[in-house]
Amino acid sequence: MSRRFLKIAACMAAAMLVLPASSAWAQSAVITLPDVSQHARVSQRIGLTDITIDYHRPLTAGRKIFGALVPYGEVWRAGADLNTTFDVSDSVSVEGHALAKGVYGLHMIPGPGSWTVIFSRNSTSWGSFTYDSTEDALRVQVTPRSSPAQDVLTYSFDDPTPTSVVATLRWADVAVPVRITVDVPHLVAANLRLQLRGRSQTEWAAWEEAANYFLENHLDAHEALSDAQQSVGIEDRFENEVTLARAFDAVGQTADAAKARAKAVSMGTQAQVYGFARALQRLGQQQLAMQIFAADTARFPGTWTSHLEATRLFVSAGNYDKAIAELARSIALAPAGMKQPLGDVMVELQNHVDINR
């Protein structure tokens, strides 16, 4: 027999010695029996990118783990039994280093003050017994921290943000955090382009939503404009005319943006137009919002919404007495569900609060 085979056999025999004697029966290669270290899988989606860790969960069983059962300075399977695997559906960044999409064997080298986390292109082995550093896709250094005692090895995804998450191994009294970052906007943009080659390409909403995503995430404004125009070409509506106006603004075509806004206002319901103007206010475009409120009150006079729009116009002019009078008319005409919220606005007006901010 080769020396390599004898070394692997010795390592696996040594590994069996750390199992409770009563559990040895569960390691059959012939029939299926329960795993001593239970199988687990944990996943997290960041944007449209799925991250999955698949592993087995050994128990401390009263043993000292790190620096003893799991020696410092040696490659460890970061779990039990088969390779712990790390699966990402898109390219990501791990602790600031690029890692391509794929399934990786996850190994670690523990240390008292620093750990090495290894992503191996080999993800189908038994533990780390045949680990080969030439198969490494990435190695990163992380700093462990103390943690409340954890009898069973656990992976979790902590501190999620729109573009990142921390994958944390916890076992015994140690936690090992690994930050994963995803270039969400550009990955989503690439995915949207693929989606728009499918059945969704015939729907106005799909192109309008894609255009909005490009605009809201400060991606290619010209692509947003093209998508908005495609949406309008399928079905011309208030919603996509609003998005078209935003796209024209983003590429500096202000005259075309004004035309699209005017068309949107002429097509929308009063509730849609009011909501549009309020969105402009939140974006700091107060003057444009006031122009739309004024046009809308002329288009739909005498409604509770038009009196509310007039309220905002008077507040903008600094005339709180007339604003209060208009809001009283709005409350009198408003549906029951709106009377209390408008009453709250009345309190603000009586205290001369600028409700347009």
pLDDT in tens, 187-221: 999 999 999 999 999 999 999 999 999 999 999 99
pLDDT, average across residues 250-254: 97
pLDDT band at 30 (very low <50, low <70, confident <90, very high): confident
Q: Does 132 have pLDDT greater than 60?
A: yes
* pLDDT of the residue at 139: 98
- pTM attached to this predicted model: 0.80
Q: Does 16 have pLDDT greater than 80?
A: no
* pLDDT of the residue at 323: 96
The larger pLDDT score, comparing residue 21 to residue 196, is at 196
* pLDDT of the residue at 264: 95
Q: Does 18 have pLDDT greater than 50?
A: no
pLDDT, average across residues 104-132: 96
Q: Does 69 have pLDDT greater than 70?
A: yes
* 245 and 162 co-located in one domain: no
Q: Which domain holds residue 231?
A: 183-268
Query: Residue 20: inside a domain, yes or no?
Result: no
Nearest to 87 by CA among 49, 115, 56, 125: 49
* 189 and 168 co-located in one domain: no
* 135 and 190 co-located in one domain: no
* 128 and 72 co-located in one domain: yes
Which of 129, 161, 182 terminates a domain? The answer is 182
Round the average pLDDT of the chain to a whole number and report it: 92
Q: Does 20 have pLDDT greater than 80?
A: no
CATH code, domain carrying 321: 1.25.40
Nearest to 117 by CA among 152, 76, 157: 76
* 260 and 288 co-located in one domain: no
Query: Residue 27: inside a domain, yes or no?
Result: no
pLDDT in tens, 293-313: 999 999 999 999 999 999 999
Which of 268, 289, 304 terminates a domain? The answer is 268
* pLDDT of the residue at 79: 96
* 235 and 286 co-located in one domain: no
Long-range contacts of 139-143 (CB under 8 A, 24+ apart): 140/94, 140/95, 140/96, 140/97, 140/116, 140/178, 141/95, 141/114, 141/115, 141/116, 141/117, 142/95, 142/114, 142/115, 142/117, 142/176, 142/177, 142/178, 143/113, 143/114, 143/115, 143/177
Which of 268, 296, 328 terminates a domain? The answer is 268
pLDDT band at 29 (very low <50, low <70, confident <90, very high): low
pLDDT in tens, 88-102: 999 999 999 999 999
What is the distance between the alpha carbons of residues 344 and 350, in angstroms, rounded to a whole number? 10
pLDDT, average across residues 103-113: 97
Q: Does 141 have pLDDT greater than 70?
A: yes
Query: Residue 3: inside a domain, yes or no?
Result: no
* 94 and 177 co-located in one domain: yes
pLDDT band at 27 (very low <50, low <70, confident <90, very high): low
* pLDDT of the residue at 36: 86
Q: Does 246 have pLDDT greater than 80?
A: yes
* 158 and 189 co-located in one domain: no
